């Protein structure tokens, strides 16, 4: 039987609740499809920091490097210094494990969930490739004349040819495997940020190797408009770290909200971390009312990555069927108990296969 070691960091706020449902569904899939996931829980997050002063000790970080994959719930607590725990945990893994692709599918599972008028499920089916290790996120910033009237704040945007090229190449390769529009759209702001010329040139150069793929471009401001007006124009989109962060929250709303959107942080062929796009949502923490669907879909992406494609597909199909039948009423907080949704998906997975066997 295939066996995998998975680091699990439930984290802050609703993170632990939604992660528990994710594991519940993964366990059902493991039982039905015959594989084994050994979870290695790690306590890190704001609560652990308040108690111990520890963010992510090196010993634990080394342990994570030996795992087949990582599952993360959510990180963030308004009582902690802004960004401290996020950078110490999420950004640390993205940077130090060199998880250079942030893969964020935006797929409408059920028309009912889309806030746009007249858009069908097939109109919203795109994947964002968010470059995940450069840009403003490298953290090169500073203040001069701090606290003075003439204070100056700076933050450096860093793009390397190698970093830009590997993200763009991944986008083209992905477009080849999706049997749809076969299109890659580069989203940047090269008209105002001239450093983005590196993206323009690299996209054109790499694009020459992919004559079978339609190549398109949008400035980020226009992309915001087109995603709302004509989401069906997008297939694979590749963009900078910061724009990818922003655009994928917008994308999440197209598919029903942050309660459904999932993501993978990947170093292809080496290591990957899976997480819902949503944050820790402190106001819903501990109430058992958050939607675990985004975490469950992150679990499906994990199985896809581990090459357990049938099981991954089954989770997605089960979620889609439960949404379309109205048994899952929606993905906003408060519509269901968080545990109820996990129970439904796990139960359906088990009974679908039991049904097929009898
Ligand atoms: C995300 C989040 C993070 C980011 C935060 C928590 C640092 O918004 O994964 O989209 O900006 O990358
Ligand atoms: Mg974000």
**Whole-number Å distance between alpha carbons of 64 and 257:** 30
Q: Is 86 in the pocket of ligand 1 (CB under 6 A)?
A: yes
pLDDT value of position 22: 98
What's the confidence (pLDDT) of residue 179? 78
Same domain, 184 and 240: yes
Say yes or no: 219 and 262 in one domain. no
pLDDT on residue 353:
72
What pLDDT does 183 receive? 98
Q: What share of the chain is helix, strand, coil (3-state, %, to 5)?
A: 45, 20, 35
Last residue of a domain, one of 234, 255, 276: 255
**How far is the CA of 280 from the CAs of 54, 164, 222, 284, 302, in angstroms?**
19, 30, 30, 9, 20
- The predicted structure's pLDDT at residue 357: 54
Where in the sequence numbering do the catalytic residues fall?
137, 189, 221, 245, 249
Q: Which atom of ligand 1 is nearest to the CA of 249?
A: 10
Protein residue whose Cα sits closest to atom 10 of ligand 1:
245
pLDDT at position 233, please? 97
Q: Which of 11, 245, 262, 265 to mutate to test the pocket of ligand 1 (most atoms within 8 A of CB)?
A: 245
Q: Does ligand 1 have an atom closer than 6 angstroms to the CB of 90?
A: yes
Q: Are 61 and 192 in the same domain?
A: no
The ligand 1 atom nearest the CA atom of 87: 7
Instruction: Count how many domains the chain has.
Output: 2
Domain that holds residue 357: 1-100+258-358
Claim to verify: residue 356 and residue 264 sit in the same structural domain: yes
| Residue 106: inside a domain | no
Low-confidence ranges of the chain (pLDDT < 50): none
Q: State whether 126 and 96 are in the same domain.
A: no
Same domain, residue pair 327 and 250? no
pTM of the model: 0.96
Q: Are residues 202 and 230 in the same domain?
A: yes
Same domain, residue pair 246 and 262: no
Q: Which residues contact 315 (CB under 8 A, 6 or more apart)?
A: 25, 29, 296, 297, 299, 300, 303, 345, 349
Q: Residue 1 corresponds to which tokens in the numbers above?
A: 């039987």
In a domain, 68, yes or no: yes
Choosing from 208, 225, 255, the residue where a domain stops is 255
pLDDT at 180: 79
């Amino acid at each position: 039987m295939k066996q995998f070691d998975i680091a699990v960091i439930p984290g802050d706020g609703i993170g632990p609740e939604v992660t528990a449902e994710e594991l519940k569904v993964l366990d059902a899939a493991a039982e039905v499809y015959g594989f084994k996931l050994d979870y290695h829980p790690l306590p890190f997050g704001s609560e652990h920091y308040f108690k111990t002063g520890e963010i992510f000790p090196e010993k634990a970080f080394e342990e994570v490097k030996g795992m087949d994959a990582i599952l993360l719930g959510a990180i963030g607590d308004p009582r902690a210094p802004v960004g401290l725990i996020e950078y110490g945990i999420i950004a640390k893994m993205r940077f130090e494990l060199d998880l250079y692709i942030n893969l964020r599918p935006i797929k409408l599972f059920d028309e009912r969930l889309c806030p746009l008028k007249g858009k069908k499920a097939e109109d919203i089916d795109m994947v964002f490739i968010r470059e995940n290790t450069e840009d403003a996120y490298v953290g090169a910033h500073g203040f001069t004349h701090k606290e003075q009237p003439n204070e100056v704040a700076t933050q450096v945007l860093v793009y390397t040819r190698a970093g830009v090229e590997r993200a763009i190449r991944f986008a083209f390769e992905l477009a080849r495997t999706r049997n749809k529009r076969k299109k890659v759209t580069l989203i940047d702001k090269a008209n105002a940020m001239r450093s983005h010329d590196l993206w323009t040139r690299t996209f054109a150069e790499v694009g020459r190797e992919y004559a079978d793929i339609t190549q398109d471009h949008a400035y980020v401001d226009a992309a915001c408009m087109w995603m709302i007006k004509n989401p069906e124009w997008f297939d694979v989109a590749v963009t900078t770290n910061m724009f990818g962060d922003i655009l994928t929250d917008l994308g999440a709303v197209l598919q029903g909200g942050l309660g459904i959107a999932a993501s993978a942080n990947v170093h292809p062929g080496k290591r990957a971390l899976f997480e819902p796009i949503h944050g820790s949502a402190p106001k819903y923490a501990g109430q058992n009312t958050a939607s675990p669907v985004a975490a469950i879909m992150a679990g499906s992406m994990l199985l896809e990555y581990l090459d357990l494609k049938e099981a991954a597909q089954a989770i997605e199909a089960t979620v889609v069927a439960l949404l379309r039948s109205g048994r899952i009423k929606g993905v906003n907080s408060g519509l269901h108990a968080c545990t109820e949704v996990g129970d439904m998906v796990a139960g359906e997975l088990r009974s679908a296969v039991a049904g097929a066997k009898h």
